[in-house]
A and B are shown apart, each in its own frame.
Chain A
Amino acid sequence: MTAGSNDLNTQMWLEEYGDYLFRYALLKVKDTHFAEDLVQETLLAAISAKNDFSHQSTIRTWLTGILRHKLVDHFRRQEHEVIMTDLVDQDEEDNLDDFFKTNGSWIDKPDTFPNPELAFQQKEFWKVFQRCLSGLKLKQVEVFLAKEIHGMSNEDICKSFSLNPANTWVLMHRARLSLHKCLKTHWID
């Protein structure tokens, strides 16, 4: 996905990427109004810096990067510990000790999940789902949202997030294992 000339039509950014940025911000700050403010700040910053946009990445990824910096600043000011570990731990090491024993078998065996349709009708389910997504590390959320919520291709994900395919698999695998575990703990059990 290379950026076409329309991509620098800043008036379209709110329309095209507003919900995406809002969702990502909301997962990390949890306060609706603050998340809205962050979307606004991100777009304002992007508009004044639009000449810096390099066509190496997509507009979406570029905007996400600006939002990520704003989130990091915010958490730094709050000396938020979680986010700091997020930062150091950006390159997901292939460590799955939370999920698998040394012989590669499950620590906590996946059971069957109840009927998805029933789950999706429950408001409570969505609260838990949101909470579980929030619990993922920044990079994992970004890749997961890009993939599962916005249907970006692997190729675009690799390019946009400067990842090689193997990193992408590791991030997605980890994100899915974490979500699965979190849903099991907070919703099923």
Chain B
Amino acid sequence: MLNCKHASQLASQAMDEKLPFWKNSMLRMHLLLCRSCTNFTQQLVFLREASRRFRNNLDFQLTDEARQRIANALKDK
């Protein structure tokens, strides 16, 4: 039986690649019985969605002015 530490590792890995069959089965079994890890797994999806929105958030992008200023500085290089 997996403990939560290992289950959370597998849950994180599963966000990025398909787990081998037996690892995936172990994770699913753990999640069936463990509310905390199920919550954590849902929060991994939350983090992914938040990251995607963060990318599109204009507060975290160069403003047109800044972009122009940098472009000017780079122009003659």
A40 adjacent to B70 (CB under 8 Å): yes
**Given A14-B70, A126-B57; A173-B9 close (CB under 8 Å):** yes
**Given A105-B4, A110-B39, A173-B9; A47-B54 close (CB under 8 Å):** no
A47 adjacent to B12 (CB under 8 Å): no
A149 adjacent to B70 (CB under 8 Å): no
Partner of B73, one of A19, A40, A129, A176: A40
Chain B: interface residue count, which band?
35 or more
A interface residues, tally (CB under 8 Å): 47
Query: Residue A1 at the B interface, CB < 8 A?
Result: no
In the bound complex, CA of A129 to CA of B42 (Å): 17
B73 adjacent to A148 (CB under 8 Å): no
Interface SS of chain A: helix, strand, loop or mixed? helix
The B48-66 residues at the A interface (CB cut-off 8 A) are 48-55, 57, 59-62, 66
B62 adjacent to A39 (CB under 8 Å): yes
**Given A113-B42, A120-B53, A126-B59; A173-B8 close (CB under 8 Å):** yes
Q: Which of B48, B55, B59, B60 has the most CB of A within 10 A?
A: B60
A36 adjacent to B74 (CB under 8 Å): no
A176 to chain B, nearest CB (A): 5
Give me the interface of A with B, judged by CB distance under 8 Å. Answer: 10-11, 14, 18-19, 22-23, 26, 36, 39-40, 43-44, 47-48, 96, 99-100, 103-106, 109-113, 116, 119-120, 126, 129-130, 133, 144, 147-150, 154, 169, 172-173, 176-177, 179-180
Give me the interface of B with A, judged by CB distance under 8 Å. Answer: 3-6, 8-9, 12-13, 15-17, 36-37, 39-40, 42-44, 46-55, 57, 59-62, 66-67, 69-71, 73-74, 77
